[in-house]
Amino acid sequence: MKELVAFDLDGTLAESKQPLKDDMAEAFADLLTVADVAVISGGDWPQFEKQVASRLPQRADLSRLWLMPTTGTKLYTYRDGQWTPVYAELFSDEEKAKIIAAFNASLDATGFQPEKLWGERIEDRGSQITFSALGQQAPIDAKESWDPDFAKRKIIQADLRTRLPGLAINMGGATSIDITREGVDKGYGLKKLRDHSGIALDAMLFIGDAIFPGGNDYPAKEIGLDTVRVRDPQDTLGVIAAIVACQKD
């Protein structure tokens, strides 16, 4: 039996930057009756609040929920009736400027400048800089058709690694590339979760849609967690139902 089930967010629990649907929110509440639950993803806290925290039913045991924005460089827990930050690891202004300049240079070099943008393309999330190819507010259909096989982002990722040695560069969501300090990925975040929760890594299960080399969920597998790769949120619902049934038995 697993003590904690950890999830990626976009593409796993919800469509890109969209709130949990009602059936997923109810499934989450069911899962919280049998295990601790964590969500780790590249979005910052406001995105987590919109997509997850505000969507859960009253019956959900929030004391068992661990929310980990910006690839686990931040951790929030629910205490005394509110979500409270436990820690946050932030870039300096100099580091941020260097990363943003490298993003712009890489897009020019690789030729992946889209014809249309919806909102800002580069977002400063404090402990993470995130590139969204079509802009932060791009519609879901445009996102899903831009790079469904990750091929474009693999080229950008390879170029960025030559420009930003010593930083972690991972693909996430439908159009995103996340940059954090070296060694910071979901494996790093899950180890931090182990330290703060007291739950061993071998007592955790990780579920995500990008569990493949170069995907931002793959580090969970690399640190030895049992993992389940899903296709989409509908697939995740089936996995959650199976876990709840097994844990109850």
- The pLDDT profile of the chain, 249 residues, written as one tens digit per residue, is 899 999 999 999 999 889 999 999 999 999 999 999 999 998 899 999 999 999 999 999 999 999 999 999 999 999 999 999 999 988 999 999 999 999 989 989 999 888 889 999 888 988 889 989 899 899 989 998 999 888 999 999 999 999 999 998 988 778 999 898 888 889 999 999 999 999 999 999 999 999 998 888 999 999 999 999 999 999 999 999 999 999 876
Q: What is the pLDDT of residue 105?
A: 93
DSSP string, 47-83: HHHHHTGGGS-TTS-GGGEEEEHHHHTEEEEEETTEE
Q: What is the pLDDT of residue 247?
A: 84
Residues constituting the chain: 249
Domain ranges for the chain, please list them: 4-89+184-248, 93-181
Residue with tokens 């629990």, as numbered in its chain: 13
Query: Which tokens sit at 228?
Result: 């389940």
Q: What is the pLDDT of residue 182?
A: 87
Q: What is the pLDDT of residue 188?
A: 94
Q: What is the pLDDT of residue 46?
A: 94
CATH of 4-89+184-248, one of 3.30.720.200, 3.30.1490.20, 1.10.3720.10, 3.40.50.1000: 3.40.50.1000
Task: Give the containing element (helix H, strand E) for 209.
Answer: none
CB-based contact 36:3 (threshold 8 Å): yes
CB-based contact 220:206 (threshold 8 Å): yes
Whether the pTM exceeds 0.85: the reply is no
CATH superfamily of 93-181: Eukaryotic phosphomannomutase, cap domain (3.30.1240.20)
CB burial readout 127-153, b (16+ within 10 A) else e: bbbbbbbbbbebeeebbeebbeeeebb
